[in-house]
């Protein structure tokens, strides 16, 4: 028991030393933190979407130009004496980057950015009262999560994560106020073919870090709604039309005095042709919209309904038309009445199910 107690105390001491060293290193990495208002240093963040170049939902990325605005207070930069009416010191591009090396700047990254930025530019304002405003314009690809459960009536969130990396939230934190919310919006000229542009939402979503600590993050999400017209015409009309193939294989036959007038072989050929048509449509759709292949969505449901309807039509034609099972067991009259029920029950069930799938996605 003594040895176990000694080991546990030793382990706790090692962890304490390691964590203390990590925290000290984090503080040493930011020796110039402005501590005029205490810790944590509050950074206000806002993101404006200037231009949208494309959204690849299969890859889960979009390309955009965004303006990231950060503002904080650093009393060391305040001017002495009367400051009323004194304009801020303004720096652009190379001058801004040079000035940023001379003052403390929060270690902010766009954590969902993919690869190098295609364009990056800075603007810096240092106000005489010590307030600092940094504007970073960047064009890059950003990774997003795509949810197509309500396809083609879905809405997607094109977001940019503004995060503080390497500094605990107890030292530097990200927040936003009404001015940042007003700043965070899509520009008038921002557009995305096939999508309607909505509003930008800001939310705080800290990142879990080492030893139960957190790092600050603000997520700016631009809502875009899919315009379903073209998708409905190119995908859903063929999907719904293909449901008619198994129904025709049932409707085309008729009975006279309990005897089918159309050979089951001909109707089975129609069903097999419908099967190949659905497989071809399946391949075409999933080649264009790879993201639809996984998960539960309206397209997958309608494909499943197509296969089920084809299997039902095949069973009905073989069970009734080829082997006359009911006629042999219960007589021709029972088979004729059962077939009449199936002729109307199957189309009604298929229509109701397909309508329910579409309404579930639309509402």
- Helix H, strand E, coil C: the string for the chain is CHHHHHHHHHHHHHHHHHHHHHHHHHHHHCCCCCCCCCCCEEEEEEEEEEEEEEEECCCCEEEEEEEEEEEEECHHHCCCCCCCCCCCEEEEHHHHHHHHCCCCCCCEEECCEEEEEEEEEEEEEECCCCEEEEEEEEEEEEECCCCCCCCCCCEEEEEEEEEECCCCCCCEEEECCHHHHHHCCECCCCCECCEEEEEEEEEECCEECHHHCEECEEEEEEEEEECCHHHHHHHHHHHHHHCHHHHHHHHCCCEECCEECCCHHHHHHHHHHHHHHHHHHHHHHHHHCHHHHCCCCHHHHHHHHHHHHHHHHHHHHHHHHHCCHHHHHHCHHHHHHHHHHHHHHHHHHHHHHHHHHHHHHHC
At residue 298, the pLDDT reads: 94
- Note if the bond before 165 is cis, omega within 30 degrees: no
Which tens digit of pLDDT belongs to each residue from 25-75?
Answer: 444 444 489 988 889 999 999 999 999 999 999 999 999 999 999 999 999
Residue 351 has pLDDT above 90, yes or no: yes
CATH number listed for the domain at residues 21-226: 2.70.170.10
Does CATH number 2.40.160 belong to domain 230-362? no
Q: How far apart are CA 178 and CA 350, in angstroms?
A: 51
Question: Domain segments of the chain: what residues?
Answer: 21-226, 230-362
Q: Cα separations (Å) of 77 from 62, 90, 94, 184, 297?
A: 38, 13, 20, 27, 55
> What is the predicted pLDDT for the residue at 16?
36
Handedness of CA 281, 285, 287, 290 (dihedral sign): negative
**Which own/partner contact pairs does 11-15 have at CB distance under 8 Å and 24+ positions apart?**
15/211
Q: How many CB atoms lie within 10 A of CB 21?
A: 11
Taking all residues of the chain, what is their mean pLDDT, rounded to a whole number?
Answer: 88
State residue 15's pLDDT score.
37
Residue 340 pLDDT class (50, 70, 90 cuts): confident
Tokens of residue 239, six digits: 């999907």
Q: Which of 201, 200, 203 is nearest to 185 (CA)?
A: 200
Query: What is the mean pLDDT of the segment spanning 340-350?
Result: 92
pLDDT above 50 for 290: yes
pLDDT one-digit tens code per residue, 229-244: 888 889 999 999 999 9
Q: How would you classify residue 77: left for phi > 0, otherwise alpha for psi between -120 and 50, otherwise beta? A: alpha
Say yes or no to pLDDT of 214 above 90: yes
Distances (CA, A) of 50 to 65, 209, 281: 5, 32, 38
Please indicate, yes or no, whether the overall pTM of this predicted structure exceeds 0.85.
no
Cα distance between the two ends of the chain: 64
Per-residue pLDDT at 362: 87
Which residue would you say has higher pLDDT here, 162 or 326? 162
pLDDT at 28: 41
| Digit-coded pLDDT (tens) for 172-211 | 999 999 999 999 999 998 999 999 999 999 999 999 888 8
Give the whole-number percent of the chain exceeding pLDDT 90: 68
pLDDT digits (tens, 9 = 90+) for 239-276: 999 999 999 988 888 777 666 777 778 888 899 999 99
């Amino acid at each position: 028991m003594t040895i176990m107690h000694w080991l546990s105390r030793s382990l706790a001491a090692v962890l304490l030393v390691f964590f203390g060293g990590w925290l000290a290193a984090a503080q040493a990495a930011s020796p110039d933190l402005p501590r005029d208002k205490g810790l944590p240093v509050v950074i206000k963040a806002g993101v404006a979407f200037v231009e949208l170049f494309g959204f690849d939902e299969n890859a889960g990325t979009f390309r955009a130009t965004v303006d990231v605005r950060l503002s904080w207070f650093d009393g060391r930069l305040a001017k002495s004496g009367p400051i009323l009416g004194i304009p801020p010191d303004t720096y652009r591009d190379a001058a801004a980057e040079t000035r940023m090396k001379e003052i403390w700047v929060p270690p902010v990254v766009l954590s969902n950015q993919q690869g190098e930025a295609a364009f990056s530019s800075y603007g810096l304002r240092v106000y005489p009262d010590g307030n600092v405003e940094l504007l970073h314009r960047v064009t890059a690809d950003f990774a997003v999560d795509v949810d197509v459960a309500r396809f083609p009536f879905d809405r997607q969130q094109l977001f940019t994560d503004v995060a503080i990396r390497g500094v605990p939230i107890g030292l530097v934190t990200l927040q936003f106020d009404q001015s940042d919310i007003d700043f965070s919006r899509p520009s008038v000229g921002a557009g995305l073919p096939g999508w309607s542009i909505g509003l930008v939402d800001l939310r705080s979503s800290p990142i879990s870090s080492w030893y139960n600590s957190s790092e600050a993050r603000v997520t700016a999400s631009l809502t875009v709604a899919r315009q379903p017209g073209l998708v409905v015409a190119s995908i859903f009309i063929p999907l719904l039309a293909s449901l008619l193939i198994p129904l025709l294989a049932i409707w085309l036959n008729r009975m006279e005095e309990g005897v089918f007038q159309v050979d089951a072989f001909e109707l089975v050929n129609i069903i097999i042709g419908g099967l190949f048509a659905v497989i071809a449509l399946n391949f075409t759709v999933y080649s264009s919209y790879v993201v639809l292949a996984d998960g539960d969505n309206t397209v997958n449901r309608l494909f499943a309904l197509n296969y089920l309807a084809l299997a039902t039509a095949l069973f009905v034609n073989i069970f009734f038309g080829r082997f006359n099972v009911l006629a042999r067991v219960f007589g021709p009259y029972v088979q004729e009445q059962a077939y009449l029920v199936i002729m109307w029950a199957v189309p009604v069930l298929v229509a109701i199910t397909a309508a329910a799938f579409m309404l579930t996605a639309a509402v």
